[in-house]
Amino acid sequence: MSMEEDLSSDGGQKKFLYVNRRAPYGTIYALESLEVVLIGAAFDQDVSLAFFDDGVFQIVKGQDTKEIGMKNFSPTYRALGDYEVTKLYVEKESLEERGLTPDDLMEITYEDEDDDWAEKPSVRLVSRAELSEVMAEQDVILSF
Amino acid sequence: MLHTVNKSPFEKSTFDSCLNHARPGDAVLLIEDGVYAAVKGTAVAGRVADMNGELSLYALGPDLSARGIKDASLIDGISIVDYGGFVDLVAEHEVSQAWL
């Protein structure tokens, strides 16, 4: 079955995981990943994002790129909920190695349509072992 | 000598290699993703703090701001410079080595 047929047919929903392991501005990977996630959101799939290694730096709050002449794309992560991208797995060990705590991350939320549109956090802190399980459950993994 | 490092110390061995080859009295300027090495409480912070007496350590302010790193979270002894300060450091040192 072609991918197009698969995506459009009933019950063809697959689990997609976008793996984010790079810091935001030194390379183009983080921005490219975010753009692909937004494009992919049109396909009504079961989408998750994983942030580990230097990828956790992508969602650190207080980013201000005025002086480096690059677009600050960090606010876009907060819009992911509107595209039904509501599962952002963040690895605790990666935060700790980088001197970060969950309080250093942006508040990223979504409105749960199955719960009277209650606002809920999109970030799910997981251990390295838990993240391995999340990866093992996927149908498709896209790495950036 | 002035050394510049632009890679994350968590992803590449660039920063480590720089410290292994820098000589007492040298200056090290952290730029781009290299500035992540300047933060307190990380897995590499001990190594950075150990070099503080021997090396002059600097971090580029605009790259810190872009990454949401506050001045208060820098390891003691690291000085923040702006683009003008970057130029001054290059002018003050006869040789610059860019660790990529």
The tens digit of pLDDT for each residue in A31-45 reads: 999 999 999 988 999
Joined tokens for residue B95: 């040789």
CB A84 within 8 A of CB A54: no
- Portion 77-116 of A in contact with B at CB < 8 A: 97-99, 104
What is residue A18's three-state secondary structure? strand
Q: Is the pLDDT of residue B64 over 70?
A: yes
Beta strands across the sheet bearing B79-81: B79-81, B56-60, B27-30, B2-5, B96-99
Inter-chain residue contact B67 with A22, CB threshold 8 Å: no
Q: How many beta-carbon pairs under 8 angstroms link A with B?
A: 69
Quick one: pLDDT at residue A12?
79
Task: Enumerate domains of chain B plus CATH numbers.
Answer: 2-99 (3.40.1260.10)
Strand partners, B5: B30, B99
Percentage, residues of chain B above pLDDT 90: 95
Q: What is the pLDDT of residue B52?
A: 79
Q: Is A6's pLDDT higher than 80? A: no
Asked if pLDDT for residue A4 goes beyond 90, the answer is: no
Q: Measure the CA–CA gap between B48 and B40, rounded to whole angstroms.
A: 9
Looking at chain B, which residue has its C-alpha nearest residue A27? Answer: B33
Q: What is the pLDDT confidence band of residue B4, given thresholds at 50, 70 and 90? A: very high
Q: How far is A99 from chain B (nearest CA, A)?
A: 4
Q: Is the pLDDT of residue B69 over 70?
A: yes
User: Of A62, A70, A97, which is closest to B43 when you measure between CB atoms?
Assistant: A97
Handedness of CA A94, B18, B99, B91 (dihedral sign): positive
pLDDT at A76: 98
CB A102 within 8 A of CB A125: yes
Instruction: Enumerate the residues of chain B whose CB falls inside 8 A of the CB of residue A57.
Output: 36, 67
* Token pair recorded at residue A30: 């983080």
- pLDDT confidence of residue A7: 52
Topology of domain A13-124, CATH: Hypothetical Protein Ychn; Chain: A, (3.40.1260)
Give the minimum alpha-carbon distance from A4 to chain B in angstroms, rounded to a whole number. Answer: 36
Average pLDDT over residues A99-117: 97
**Is A28 an interface residue toward B (CB < 8 Å)?**
no
Looking at residue A85, what is its pLDDT? Answer: 97
Asked if B7's CB is within 8 angstroms of A26's CB, the reply is yes
DSSP string, A25-88: TTSSHHHHHHHHHHHHGGG--EEEEEE-GGGGGGGBS----GGGTS---GGGGGGGGGGT---E
Give the pLDDT band (50/70/90) at residue A60.
very high
Distance between CA atoms of residues A49 and A112, nearest Å: 18
Using the beta-carbon criterion (under 8 Å), do B62 and A68 form an inter-chain contact?
Answer: yes
B23 to chain A, closest Cα gap in Å: 27
**Which residues of B, range 42-71, sit inside 8 Å of A by Cβ?**
42-43, 45, 61-63, 65-68, 70
